[in-house]
């Protein structure tokens, strides 16, 4: 089945084409309008999607060497995400589906982050997915395709949100996560011991205390001193966040007995998290899968592969499909 996929849950407009040869294109149009605000402004995001979605889809079709007449289904992000942004993608997808008389497939954005690992790999079920992004931090027990149980989640800030807010305190541009990761590579992760919340308690996460701790730590520091030790501070923050994520992941593995682990979401691109996860799973003899960096952040390729998996199971939607902003 030739599938056109559309992703517009936040501030990236993306379109991808999937055929029986796999992903043929994955176009991402990022929005720069939010940089001056240090975060995503929902109204501006939806307006930017309206301006770019047509050309993004056209580019995906051209790069995928396929015409719209050859598309047999349209997969689109249904949620969670910003409601205005989701509506742009869904309305565009509905229009195409109606005009071409082809089926529509609504995709859960969080499912898609997990199944991004299936673009280049064939992980075996059951498995544990550690999904870490700007809006979510979850441990998901997946027993078979689309049979999910969230066994751990954040009680406040998500891991990606903590990176971005701490990066803002350090004067780094938005989104700060990739910048912190790059700086941390040349820093000392044991420069300062930041708190690791809920380390001995179950599978839930909490990162709001870490954010507050960094704020207090920086209050009496001169700007020159912060800049001098910026790499070390970033490394110490990355160490604290990744340490909690990996230790909780290890606990989930032991509680469920799974032999397969997936990293998913934008923060799964973090190099320290990848290295620690690989070391831990190697020690346990567990198979670890991580998506390509280009498939970690929001993208339509992950919507396409998830749409393909739903189509294989006969899971289609009709034109009454509506977006949902939260899980």
Annotated binding site for substrate: 131-135, 164, 177, 181, 270
260-264 sheet: strands from edge to edge? 147-153, 137-144, 127-132, 260-264, 287-289
Q: Which of 211, 181, 285, 199 is nearest to 247 (CA)?
A: 199
CA 315 – CA 310 distance, rounded (Å): 5
CA 221 – CA 158 distance, rounded (Å): 26
11 touches 45 (CB < 8 A): yes
3-state secondary structure of 185: coil
State which H helix or E strand residue 181 sits in.
Answer: helix 177-184
Residues of the binding site: 109, 113, 131-135, 164, 177, 181, 270, 298
Partners of 141 in the β-ladder: 128, 149
CA 240 – CA 27 distance, rounded (Å): 34
Note the Cα 55 to chain centre separation in Å. Answer: 24
Strands 12-19 and 22-30: antiparallel
Backbone dihedral region for residue 71 (phi beyond 0: left; psi -120 to 50: alpha; all else: beta): beta
315 touches 291 (CB < 8 A): no
Residues of the binding site for Fe cation: 109, 113, 298
The beta strand positions in the chain, using DSSP E, are 3-7, 12-19, 22-30, 73-79, 104-108, 127-132, 137-144, 147-153, 260-264, 287-289
CA 43 – CA 88 distance, rounded (Å): 12
CA 95 – CA 73 distance, rounded (Å): 12
The answer to whether the peptide bond before residue 175 is cis (omega within 30 degrees of 0) is yes
């Amino acid at each position: 089945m030739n599938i056109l996929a559309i992703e517009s849950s936040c501030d990236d407009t993306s379109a991808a084409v999937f055929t029986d040869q796999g992903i043929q294109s994955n176009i991402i149009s990022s929005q720069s309008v939010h940089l001056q605000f240090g975060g995503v402004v929902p109204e501006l995001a939806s307006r930017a999607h309206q301006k770019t979605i047509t050309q993004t889809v056209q580019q995906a079709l051209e790069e995928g060497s396929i015409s719209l007449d050859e598309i047999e289904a349209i997969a689109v992000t249904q949620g969670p995400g910003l409601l205005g942004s989701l509506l742009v993608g869904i309305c565009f997808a509905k229009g195409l589906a109606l005009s071409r008389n082809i089926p529509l497939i609504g995709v859960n954005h969080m499912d898609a982050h997990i199944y991004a690992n299936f673009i280049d790999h064939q992980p075996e079920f059951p498995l544990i997915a550690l999904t870490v992004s700007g809006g979510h931090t979850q441990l998901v027990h997946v027993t078979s395709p689309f049979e999910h149980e969230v066994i751990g989640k954040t009680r406040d800030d998500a891991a990606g949100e903590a990176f971005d807010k701490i990066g803002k305190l350090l004067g780094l541009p938005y989104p700060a996560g990739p910048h912190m990761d790059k700086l941390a590579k040349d820093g000392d992760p044991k420069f300062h011991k930041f708190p690791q919340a809920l380390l001995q308690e179950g599978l839930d996460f909490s990162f709001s205390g870490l954010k507050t701790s960094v704020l207090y730590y920086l209050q009496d520091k001169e700007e020159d001193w912060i800049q001098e030790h910026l790499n070390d501070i970033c490394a110490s923050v990355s160490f604290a966040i990744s340490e909690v994520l990996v230790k909780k992941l290890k606990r989930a593995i032991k509680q469920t007995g799974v032999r397969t682990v997936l990293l998913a979401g934008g923060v799964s691109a973090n190099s320290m998290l990848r290295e620690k996860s690989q070391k831990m799973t190697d020690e346990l003899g567990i198979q670890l899968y991580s998506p390509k960096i280009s498939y970690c952040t929001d993208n339509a390729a992950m919507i396409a592969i998830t749409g393909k998996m739903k189509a294989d199971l006969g899971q289609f939607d009709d034109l009454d499909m509506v977006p949902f902003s939260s899980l």
